[in-house]
Chain A
Amino acid sequence: RKEVEQDPGPFNVPEGATVAFNCTYSNSASQSFFWYRQDCRKEPKLLMSVYSSGNEDGRFTAQLNRASQYISLLIRDSKLSDSATYLCVATPLNTGGFKTIFGAGTRLFVKA
């Protein structure tokens, strides 16, 4: 079983749609969680952190459920520019440092 698992998609949605991505992590000692966005042929970039209380940034909402070891990302009012791959990240408590585990990513295509 992979340490961080995501539905690979692709998700094909029309502009204006709401889309949700899910991610599960296997290490219950994971300390911090993130969503990164990766555009085609580019490097991953931080989209948002995922706090225990959940957090919202404009059209994006991230939730964490520690009991179920589950992270979600909700995108409202999808834009064409949201088309990208979304990577879920967990950082397990690891002696000596911050080993980050990336999921394989979920591809999103937003069409006009």
Chain B
Amino acid sequence: DAGVIQSPRHEVTEMGQEVTLRCKPISGHDYLFWYRQTMMRGLELLIYFNNNVPIDDSGMPEDRFSAKMPNASFSTLKIQPSEPRDSAVYFCASRPSASFWETQYFGPGTRLLVL
């Protein structure tokens, strides 16, 4: 299996621009997670989906952030408009739903820099 795929791997944009991050989970995994990691705040869960349905978005920082999962093999995280404080590494992860002991598999991350 190819693992979790994220694109782009790096993104540099200017404040006010729209940013779209993409994720393809591992085939057969029912759960998809979006995380943000910074030095100051560590790894934060933003939102997660089960069978393409958002379950908990309480970690989404504000209305500028939105996430969708139109089908089982694709999800997007959008920031509009972007701000310098959004600069971080954004990880997507997926896992099967069989039990609490299933492992999450992370993608390589998207490094976002907002100037």
Task: Give residues in A with beta carbon < 8 Å to B.
Answer: 31-32, 34, 42-46, 49, 87, 91, 94, 96-105
Contacts and interface: CB of A to CB of B under 8 A. Distances in A.
30 contacts: A31-B100, A32-B101, A43-B91, A43-B107, A43-B108, A44-B43, A44-B91, A44-B106, A45-B106, A46-B103, A46-B104, A49-B103, A91-B100, A96-B56, A97-B48, A97-B50, A97-B56, A98-B31, A98-B48, A98-B95, A98-B97, A99-B56, A100-B33, A100-B104, A102-B35, A102-B45, A103-B42, A104-B43, A105-B42, A105-B43
B109 interface: yes
A43 B101 CA distance: 19
B45 A100 contact: yes
Interface of B: 31, 33, 35, 41-43, 45, 48, 50, 55-56, 91, 95, 97, 100-104, 106-109
B55 A97 contact: yes
Contacts of A96: 50, 55-56
A98 B100 contact: yes
A104 B40 CA distance: 9
B31 A102 contact: no
Question: Counting chain B CB atoms within 10 Å of each CB, which of A45, A46, A98, A99 scores highest?
Answer: A98
Contacts of B55: 96-97, 99
A103 B42 CA distance: 8
Nearest to A6: B42
Contacts, number: 53
Contacts of B45: 99-102
A60 to B, nearest CB: 16
A87 B35 CA distance: 14
B101 A99 contact: no
B86 to A, nearest CB: 19
A42 B106 CA distance: 10
Contacts of B48: 97-99
B84 to A, nearest CB: 21
A108 to B, nearest CB: 16
A49 B99 CA distance: 13
Contacts of B91: 43-44
